[in-house]
Copies of this chain bind each other. A is one copy, B any other.
Amino acid sequence: MISVDEHLDWVLAQVEPVATVTLPVRRAQSLVTTTDVHSSVDLPRFDNSSMDGYAVRRADLEGASSENPVVLPVAGDVAAGDQERHALAPGQVWRIMTGAPMPEGADAVVKVEDTDGHPHEPQLRVHPDEGAHIRRAGEDVKAGDLVLPAGSRIGPGEIAALLSSGVSEIEVVGPVRVAILSTGDELVPAGEPVGPGQIIDSNGPMLEALVREAGAYVVHVGHLPDDEGAIKKQLHRLLDHADLVITTGGVSKGEFDLVKKVLSGQGSMEFVEVAMQPGKPQGFGVLGRRDVPVFTLPGNPVSTLVSFEVFVRPALQRRAGRSEGGRLATGFATEGWRSSPERQTYTRVRIDRDPTGKYAVSPAGGAGSHLVGPLAVADALAVSDPKAAEVTAGSEVDLLLLRPRSEIDARLHAEDDDHDEEG
């Protein structure tokens, strides 16, 4: 048996980001930039008013005050989006709206609150500072300035900054397309009648949800019976269209473990026993002319989930050019539980909040890898020390979160509020 870390290192050493693509900024959400991106324009693009008011020449307002307002005629209105080039003559003002371009010759804005707001002959009650309420061209960003370094993940703020900077297309690590294949004569797709000896294929839909949540695209979710020819044909088809393939089932020692039989000796494929509980039988390799990473996970739903979190999610992140490690946390065990000595044990736990605000964890349901009931209440996998035979109450435990942290924190926040209301 090899350790979890050895296997993960071996897997990740073979996983490369997918090819670069150029996409409109709006379509690049959650993808990662491959080059530094610079602004193609000054921001603001032109001098403009930051307030509704009047564009003025300061010299005309020498000594103006509430007690001693200056009245000047309005040459016209300039609104945001006005494409004409206006000029301000001495002894006049332009009425100006927020975001509107400054008329030539104006050197300050008097905001409407410092006037009587008259549309034609306003009383102006201040002598403004040089440049008051003017946003100067280029004061935020200059043409050529770095907007986003290579390796940035595109979120809403990045989209706003790029578009404002005149950048409408960017080069990113492409979206990762994933194919999922469940195998086994016993499996029936959800919604179809289940005969004796048969079970619902929950792995396919679970993996589909996991892959989506990890920010990748599911291009195929299928199920095949234990038929060597069919499995072989389908796997080769998927290697042409997907950037990562996940299979479940068919990798134990039995006679009917056809995924192992079909893939053995292909590409860099290796089938190994990893010192972990659950999830011991793992297969991985890079296959086909497009070097597609293929994971063959054990078919038991809990083993599938743990294998995904431990090996597949980091590989998906790397394939997308993203950093890993965002799902790590620590907590305290509120009760003890047994772990498997010599194997890294992943125990499904429920997270609560201890009085100091830390995560307090307790096992969710039983430890058997076939128990799917507790899947619905588990928030995290508690990772035990492979040298220890138990986790003791009160000890600190490393957690691999099974949900986005925001979702866990939102639930805890809502529960805190409930307690507050009760108390």
A268 within 8 A of B: no
Sort chain A's interface into a size bin: 35 or more
Among residues 154 to 207 in chain A, which have CB atoms less than 8 Å away from a CB atom of chain B? 155-166, 168, 184-187, 190-191, 194-203, 205-207
The listed residue (B46, B168, B226) touching A197 by CB distance below 8 A is B46
CB distance from A133 to the nearest CB of B (A): 11
Q: Are B323 and A161 in contact (CB under 8 A)?
A: no
A404 within 8 A of B: yes
Q: Are B213 and A155 in contact (CB under 8 A)?
A: yes
A403 within 8 A of B: yes
> Which of A24, A209, A407 has its CB near the most chain B CB atoms (within 10 A)?
A209
Assembly CA distance A147 to B373 (angstroms): 7
CB distance from A380 to the nearest CB of B (A): 11
Question: Among A10-18, A233-241, A248-256, A331-339, which stretch is in contact with chain B?
Answer: A248-256
Chain B contacts of A317 at CB under 8 A? 410
A210 within 8 A of B: yes
Q: Are B205 and A410 in contact (CB under 8 A)?
A: no
Chain B contacts of A212 at CB under 8 A? 29
Query: Considering only CB atoms, which chain B residue lies closest to A225 in the complex?
Result: B81
Q: Are A213 and B156 in contact (CB under 8 A)?
A: yes
Q: Are B209 and A156 in contact (CB under 8 A)?
A: yes
Chain B contacts of A326 at CB under 8 A? 404-410, 413
A44 within 8 A of B: yes
Assembly CA distance A207 to B201 (angstroms): 38
Q: Are A200 and B163 in contact (CB under 8 A)?
A: yes
Assembly CA distance A208 to B162 (angstroms): 15
Q: Are B402 and A404 in contact (CB under 8 A)?
A: no
Assembly CA distance A255 to B402 (angstroms): 52
A230 within 8 A of B: no
Assembly CA distance A147 to B376 (angstroms): 7
Assembly CA distance A342 to B207 (angstroms): 50
Assembly CA distance A376 to B197 (angstroms): 55
Q: Are A168 and B185 in contact (CB under 8 A)?
A: no
The 7 A-B pairs at the shortest CB distance, nearest first, are namely A81-B185, A325-B413, A81-B186, A326-B406, A326-B410, A161-B376, A157-B375
Residues of A participating in the B interface, judged by any CB pair closer than 8 Å? 24-26, 29, 39, 43-46, 50, 52, 77, 79-85, 97-101, 112, 135, 140-141, 145, 147-148, 152-153, 155-166, 168, 184-187, 190-191, 194-203, 205-210, 212-213, 225-226, 252-256, 299, 301, 305, 317, 322-328, 366, 368, 370-373, 375-376, 378, 401-411, 413-414, 417
